[in-house]
């Protein structure tokens, strides 16, 4: 059995290290962490230690981000807008499919503690993990255009509480083939609340970008990063046109 | 002497004609004291007529055009309402909430009606209703009631200082000088906001609606052309509306389209000016009406003022929204998710429902839609057929030629009881076929609809059925 690889880019480099016990701050301050993989996270900085930065995300998740993965800490206390950051990552392959990694919040709106939750994903789910990389058992049920995923958490979520998981799915039809050597990837993200949407698209090995809408940052080569501040109800449409390098 | 039990017909009539004044000092009047006193005497007169059971005296206080401007067959509908109110109680009380004066001795009064006492037969009536009355002097005589409009109490609470603020805080609209502002109880079509600006001294009004554009419009010109066709359908037989002007228009930072047309409706020459402003998938529309047609030149300044005073509020508080994620849509607060066929566009729009989402299969005039409605109490499976019947009855009021093309069928959607029905009807001059699936899930009613031209319906139905089957609850 292979060790499950971490799923969320911003969490990929993050250790949930309760044992690190960073020195607590007297007051939490809102910051934007610029991470080495090009993404950012808006959160409340709760403390610092040699191991890293202890932060609470806008979802309420308390995590420690290793110092080695942080390029810069931007103080946004004076900034008017402190929005949550959503990050969705796609790794495209040359068959036209994509592996998608996304965070999901499981909310318990009931009056009793709950450990079973279900949600829809496009394509086939490969793995569900907690932020610390712990695997979450799940079952699937096929539906038209989607798959119902039912997860059972080890610890029940109290009424009104929520738990974050990362979901990795494989969608065999994520890209539209224009020709044998060209393909187009499109994705729409709508914001349920004001947020910073980050969409990361990794091209298949040996493929190059012919152009994107909107413009993307390509760091490192072959990894496209889209980022936009979205007001509630706005959508973010991205399109990547790509071709094999030999073309 | 006041009868112990009010005769049913008079009781019912009184439900729509305020008979007593209990003016609240706090809510009063921006009017001259003389006219204010006259307005209150008018309602006192109604009270006396009501107490004496004198129908002739009551009718003498009505203008011959009472209600004609608001609803076709208004008198017939009023009689129907009167009869139902008569069965619902034995005493009526009225509060004059607001009086506003206009030129020429005209005025508007906002009046709350309360039905008291045990119901005589049938169910208990709604506890209160609020109406706008337009009062006008006929010749040099006394004031008469010229119009009545049922109001939305929740909407009325969002009016302050002559300005209406949308329920979600996203826009404001204010009255031109001399106009009164009100929010009709009866909404227009699919509008999620309806505001009425009326000049009590004339027949001019501005009907403002905000609605979700139900499909991808190629341009606002299309909307204007459809409006012109609708106006033609409303015009008197043998007459043709004349488009006097049309063109691009902008206001409140939004692009739009303007159409001015003259038409003969009900034997009267009238001028309609329609301004549509678009913001993403929302259309803000002003329908300005002048009658007679010659009055348009005089009314134009007020119409311009009404449009100029419309503004979007950028710092509107957030409302509950769902989220699009590729081909999926999820709404965490309402607890549901759904997956669309590949290539179908998904867009959530603001509406009077708890949530409304469009699924558009490419270009064209076909669309699927999901509406979620929180009803407060559990929706019983056996009541679904009655809900479909009631829905159809309500729709028949505006589309009389609606026909049912299938019996109501029973099905399950994600384990929830559901019913489906197929109907056909013309809308905006086009034939449509609609398949509706009503899903009962706790205290939320979900309605999924495929609406398409008949020629496209069969090809899209499998995709719609798959959309329905992908629906899950995530409570």
DSSP B372-431: EEE-SSPPPGGGHHHHHHHHHHHHHTT-TT-EE-S--EEEEETTEEEEEEEEEEEETTEE
Which one, of B179, B181, B206, B183, lies nearest residue B194 by Cα?
A: B183
By the CB < 8 Å criterion, does A102 face chain B?
yes
What is the mean predicted confidence (pLDDT) over A61-80?
Answer: 68
Q: Domain check: are A162 and A185 in the same one?
A: no
- Within a domain: residue B256? yes
Token readout for B312 is 């979007």
pLDDT at position B307 is: 92
Q: Domain check: are B256 and B330 in the same one?
A: no
Q: Domain check: are B306 and B257 in the same one?
A: yes
How many other C-beta atoms can be found within 10 angstroms of the C-beta atom of residue B209?
21
C-alpha–C-alpha distance, residues B68 and B61, integer Å = 16
- A146/B339 CB distance under 8 A: yes
For residue A220, give how far its alpha carbon lies from the nearest alpha carbon of chain B (Å). 25
The CATH number for A17's domain is 2.30.30.100
- Within a domain: residue A98? no
How many other C-beta atoms can be found within 10 angstroms of the C-beta atom of residue B447?
19
Phi and psi at A235, nearest 5°, equal -115, 155
Q: Which of A118, A140, A166 is the last residue of a domain?
A: A166
How many other C-beta atoms can be found within 10 angstroms of the C-beta atom of residue B300?
16
Q: Domain check: are A199 and A227 in the same one?
A: yes
- The total number of structural domains in chain A stands at 3
By the CB < 8 Å criterion, does B162 face chain A?
no
Identify the DSSP state of B297.
H
Q: Looking at the predicted structure, is the pLDDT value of residue A117 above 90?
A: yes
% of chain A at pLDDT higher than 90: 30
- Within a domain: residue B292? yes
CB B425 within 8 A of CB B453: no
Token readout for B102 is 């206009």
- Within a domain: residue A28? yes
Q: Domain check: are B355 and B444 in the same one?
A: yes
Q: Which of B312, B334, B351 is the last residue of a domain?
A: B312
- Within a domain: residue A69? yes
Q: Domain check: are A157 and A179 in the same one?
A: no
- A31 or B424: whose pLDDT is higher? B424
Token readout for A44 is 């409340």
The answer to pTM > 0.80 is no
- A143/B469 CB distance under 8 A: yes
Q: Which of A142, A166, A190 is the last residue of a domain?
A: A166
pLDDT in tens, A7-16: 333 333 332 3
Which one, of B214, B215, B292, B210, lies nearest residue B256 by Cα?
A: B210
CB B106 within 8 A of CB B147: no
By the CB < 8 Å criterion, does B406 face chain A?
no
pLDDT at position B173 is: 93
- Tell me which residue in A143, A193, A233 faces B348 most closely, judged by beta carbons: A233
- This model of the complex carries an ipTM of 0.70
- A120/B337 CB distance under 8 A: yes
- A146/B327 CB distance under 8 A: yes
For residue B103, give how far its alpha carbon lies from the nearest alpha carbon of chain A (Å). 44
- A122/B327 CB distance under 8 A: yes
C-alpha–C-alpha distance, residues B221 and B313, integer Å = 26
**Which parts of chain B register pLDDT below 50?**
1-31, 68-74, 125, 215-216
Q: Domain check: are B281 and B393 in the same one?
A: no
Token readout for B330 is 């999820």
Q: Domain check: are A181 and A147 in the same one?
A: no
- Tell me which residue in B322, B339, B469 faces A192 most closely, judged by beta carbons: B322
- Within a domain: residue B241? yes
By the CB < 8 Å criterion, does A192 face chain B?
yes
Q: Domain check: are A33 and A64 in the same one?
A: yes
CB A241 within 8 A of CB A184: yes
Q: Domain check: are B300 and B213 in the same one?
A: yes
Token readout for B322 is 């769902």
Phi and psi at B105, nearest 5°, equal 75, 10
Q: Which residue has the tokens 């690190």?
A: A20
By the CB < 8 Å criterion, does B79 face chain A?
no
C-alpha–C-alpha distance, residues B169 and B61, integer Å = 39
The nearest alpha carbon in chain B to A141 belongs to B470
Task: Look up the domain containing B439 and give its range.
Answer: 323-473
What is the mean predicted confidence (pLDDT) over A88-100?
Answer: 91
pLDDT at position B288 is: 92
C-alpha–C-alpha distance, residues A49 and A90, integer Å = 32
Q: Which of B127, B147, B167 is the last residue of a domain?
A: B147
CB B99 within 8 A of CB B41: no
By the CB < 8 Å criterion, does B472 face chain A?
yes
Q: Looking at the predicted structure, is the pLDDT value of residue A21 above 80?
A: no
CB B36 within 8 A of CB B101: yes
Q: Domain check: are A38 and A69 in the same one?
A: yes
pLDDT in tens, A177-234: 888 889 999 999 888 777 788 888 999 999 999 999 999 888 778 889 888 888 777 7
C-alpha–C-alpha distance, residues B303 and B287, integer Å = 9
- Tell me which residue in B322, B326, B466 faces A122 most closely, judged by beta carbons: B326
HSE, side-chain direction, 13 A CA sphere, residue B15: 28
CB B171 within 8 A of CB B210: yes
Torsion sign across C-alpha atoms B344, B349, B352, B355: positive
CB A20 within 8 A of CB A26: no
Q: Which of B312, B338, B356 is the last residue of a domain?
A: B312
Q: Domain check: are B377 and B454 in the same one?
A: yes
What does each C-alpha distance from B386 to B237, B408, B473 come to in angstroms? Answer: 37, 10, 23
What is the pLDDT confidence band of residue A120, given thresholds at 50, 70 and 90? very high
Q: Domain check: are B392 and B348 in the same one?
A: yes
Q: Domain check: are B275 and B241 in the same one?
A: yes
C-alpha–C-alpha distance, residues A172 and A188, integer Å = 17
What does each C-alpha distance from A91 to A199, A204, B322, B360, B394 come to in angstroms? Answer: 11, 7, 26, 28, 51
- Within a domain: residue B305? yes
Task: Provide the 3-class DSSP secondary structure of residue B18.
Answer: coil
The nearest alpha carbon in chain A to B316 belongs to A232
CB A62 within 8 A of CB A162: no
CB pairs < 8 Å spanning A and B: 87
For residue B348, give how far its alpha carbon lies from the nearest alpha carbon of chain A (Å). 7
- Within a domain: residue A2? no
Q: Domain check: are B329 and B466 in the same one?
A: yes
- Within a domain: residue B83? yes
Which one, of B401, B327, B399, B313, lies nearest residue B360 by Cα?
A: B327
Q: Domain check: are A159 and A178 in the same one?
A: no
By the CB < 8 Å criterion, does B347 face chain A?
yes
Q: Which of residues 281-320 of B touch A (CB under 8 A)?
A: 318-319
For residue B466, give how far its alpha carbon lies from the nearest alpha carbon of chain A (Å). 5
Q: Which of A130, A151, A166 is the last residue of a domain?
A: A166
CA B56 to chain centroid: 32
Task: Look up the domain containing A153 and give its range.
Answer: 104-166
* Mutation site, A86, A122, A146, A160, interface B, largest B CB count within 10 A: A146
- Within a domain: residue A89? no
State the DSSP string of chain A: -PPPPP--HHHHT-B--GGG-PEEEEEEEEEEEEETTS-EEEEEEEEE-SSEEEEEETTS-EEEEEGGGEEEEEE-TT-S----EEEEEEEE-TTS-EEEEEEEEEE--SSS-EEEEEEEESSEEEEEEETTS-B--EEEEEETTEEEEEEEEEEEEPTT-EEEEEEEEEETTSEEEEETTEEEEEEEEE-SSSEEEEEEEEPPTTEEEEEEES--EE-STTEEEEEEEE-TT-EEEEEEEEEETT-
For residue A88, give how far its alpha carbon lies from the nearest alpha carbon of chain B (Å). 10
- Within a domain: residue B172? no
pLDDT at position B112 is: 76
- Within a domain: residue A4? no
Q: Domain check: are A60 and A75 in the same one?
A: yes
The CATH number for B43's domain is 3.10.450.50
C-alpha–C-alpha distance, residues B283 and B223, integer Å = 10
C-alpha–C-alpha distance, residues B359 and B338, integer Å = 11
- Tell me which residue in B322, B347, B470 faces A143 most closely, judged by beta carbons: B470
Q: Domain check: are B342 and B373 in the same one?
A: yes
Q: Domain check: are B308 and B328 in the same one?
A: no
Q: Domain check: are A156 and A183 in the same one?
A: no
CB A163 within 8 A of CB A116: no
Strands (DSSP E) along B266-386, which ranges?
Answer: 268-279, 282-290, 311-312, 323-325, 328-331, 336-339, 344-349, 355-361, 367-374
Q: Domain check: are B226 and B351 in the same one?
A: no
C-alpha–C-alpha distance, residues B226 and B219, integer Å = 11
Token readout for B458 is 């069969």
- A192/B338 CB distance under 8 A: no
The CATH number for B219's domain is 3.40.1000.10
Residues in A closer than 8 angstroms to B466, CB to CB, are 144-145
Q: Domain check: are A216 and A190 in the same one?
A: yes
- A105 or B455: whose pLDDT is higher? B455
- The total number of structural domains in chain B stands at 3
CB B438 within 8 A of CB B387: yes
Q: Using N-to-C axis directions, what is the helix angle for B8-16 and B33-52, rounded to 10°?
A: 160
pLDDT at position B306 is: 92
Q: Domain check: are A159 and A188 in the same one?
A: no
- Within a domain: residue A22? yes
Length of chain B: 475
- Within a domain: residue B3? no
Q: Which residues contact A220 (CB under 8 A, 6 or more apart)?
A: none
- A67 or B469: whose pLDDT is higher? B469
- Within a domain: residue A85? no
Which one, of B154, B228, B148, lies nearest residue B194 by Cα?
A: B154
- Within a domain: residue B138? yes
By the CB < 8 Å criterion, does A233 face chain B?
yes
Length of chain A: 247
- Strands of A85-92's sheet, edge to edge? A124-130, A162-171, A98-107, A85-92, A195-202, A223-230, A217-218
Provide the β-strand partners of residue B374: B444
């Amino acid at each position: 059995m292979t060790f499950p690889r971490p799923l969320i880019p911003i969490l990929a480099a993050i250790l949930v290290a309760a044992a690190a016990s960073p020195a607590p701050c007297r007051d939490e301050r809102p910051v934007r962490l610029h991470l080495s993989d090009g993404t950012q996270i808006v959160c409340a900085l709760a403390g610092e230690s040699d191991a890293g930065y202890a932060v609470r995300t806008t979802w309420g998740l308390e995590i420690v981000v290793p110092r080695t993965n942080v390029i810069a800490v931007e103080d946004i206390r004076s900034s008017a807008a402190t929005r949550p950051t959503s990050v969705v990552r796609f790794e495209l392959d040359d068959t036209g499919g994509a592996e998608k990694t996304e965070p999901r919040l499981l909310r318990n709106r009931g009056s009793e503690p709950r450990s079973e939750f279900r949600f829809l994903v496009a394509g086939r789910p490969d793995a569900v993990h907690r932020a610390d990389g712990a695997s979450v058992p799940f079952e699937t049920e096929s539906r038209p255009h989607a798959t119902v995923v039912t997860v059972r958490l080890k610890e029940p979520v109290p009424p009104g509480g929520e738990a974050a998981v990362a979901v990795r799915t494989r969608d065999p039809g994520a890209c539209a083939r224009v020709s044998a050597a060209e393909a187009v990837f499109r994705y729409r993200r709508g914001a349920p609340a004001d947020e910073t949407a980050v969409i990361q698209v990794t091209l298949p090995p040996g493929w190059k970008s012919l152009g994107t809408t909107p413009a993307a940052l390509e760091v490192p080569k072959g990894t496209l990063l889209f980022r936009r501040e979205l007001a509630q109800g706005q959508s973010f449409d991205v399109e990547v046109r790509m071709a094999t390098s030999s073309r | 002497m006041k009868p112990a039990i009010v005769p049913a017909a008079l009781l019912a009539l009184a439900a729509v004609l305020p008979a007593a004044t209990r003016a609240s000092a706090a809510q009063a009047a921006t009017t001259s004291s003389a006219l204010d006193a006259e307005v209150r005497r008018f309602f006192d007169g109604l009270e006396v007529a009501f107490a004496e059971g004198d129908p002739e005296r009551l009718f003498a206080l009505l203008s011959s055009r009472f209600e004609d401007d608001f609803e076709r067959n208004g008198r017939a509908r009023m009689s129907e309402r009167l009869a139902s109110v008569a069965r619902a109680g034995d005493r009526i009380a009225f509060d004059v909430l607001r009086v506003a004066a206009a030129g020429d001795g005209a005025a508007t009064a906002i009046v709350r009606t309360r039905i008291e006492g045990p119901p005589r037969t049938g169910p208990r009536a709604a506890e209160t209703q609020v109406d706008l009355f337009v009062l006008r002097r006929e010749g040099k005589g006394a004031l008469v009631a010229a119009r009545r409009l049922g109001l939305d109490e929740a909407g009325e609470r969002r009016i302050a200082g002559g300005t209406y603020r949308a329920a979600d805080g996203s826009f404001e609209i204010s009255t031109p000088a001399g106009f009164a502002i009100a929010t009709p109880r009866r909404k227009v079509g699919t509008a999620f906001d309806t505001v009425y600006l009326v000049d009590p001294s004339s027949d001019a009004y501005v009907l403002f609606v905000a609605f979700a554009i139900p499909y991808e419009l190629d341009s606002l010109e299309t909307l204007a052309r459809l409006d012109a066709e609708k106006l033609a359908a409303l015009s008197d037989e043998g007459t043709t509306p004349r488009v006097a002007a049309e063109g691009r228009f902008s206001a409140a930072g939004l692009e739009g389209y303007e159409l001015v047309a003259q038409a003969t409706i009900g034997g009267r020459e009238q001028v309609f000016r329609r301004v549509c402003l678009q913001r993403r998938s929302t259309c803000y529309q002003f329908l300005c009406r002048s009658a007679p047609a010659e009055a348009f030149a005089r009314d134009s300044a007020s119409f311009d003022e009404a449009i100029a005073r419309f503004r979007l509020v950028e710092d509107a508080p957030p409302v509950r929204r769902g989220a699009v994620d590729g081909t999926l849509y999820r709404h965490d607060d309402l607890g549901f998710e759904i997956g669309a066929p590949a290539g179908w566009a998904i867009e959530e729009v603001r509406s009077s429902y708890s949530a409304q989402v469009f699924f558009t299969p490419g270009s064209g005039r076909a669309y699927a839609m999901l509406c979620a409605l929180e009803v407060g109490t559990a929706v019983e499976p056996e009541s679904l057929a009655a809900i479909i019947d009631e829905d159809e009855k309500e729709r028949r009021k505006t589309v009389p030629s609606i026909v049912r093309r299938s019996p109501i069928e029973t099905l399950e959607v994600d384990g929830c009881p559901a019913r489906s029905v197929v109907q056909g009807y013309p809308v905006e001059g086009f034939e449509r076929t609609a398949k509706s699936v009503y899903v009962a899930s706790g205290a939320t009613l979900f309605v999924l609809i495929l609406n398409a031209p008949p020629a496209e319906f069969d090809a899209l139905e499998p995709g719609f059925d798959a959309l329905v089957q992908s629906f899950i609850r995530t409570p």
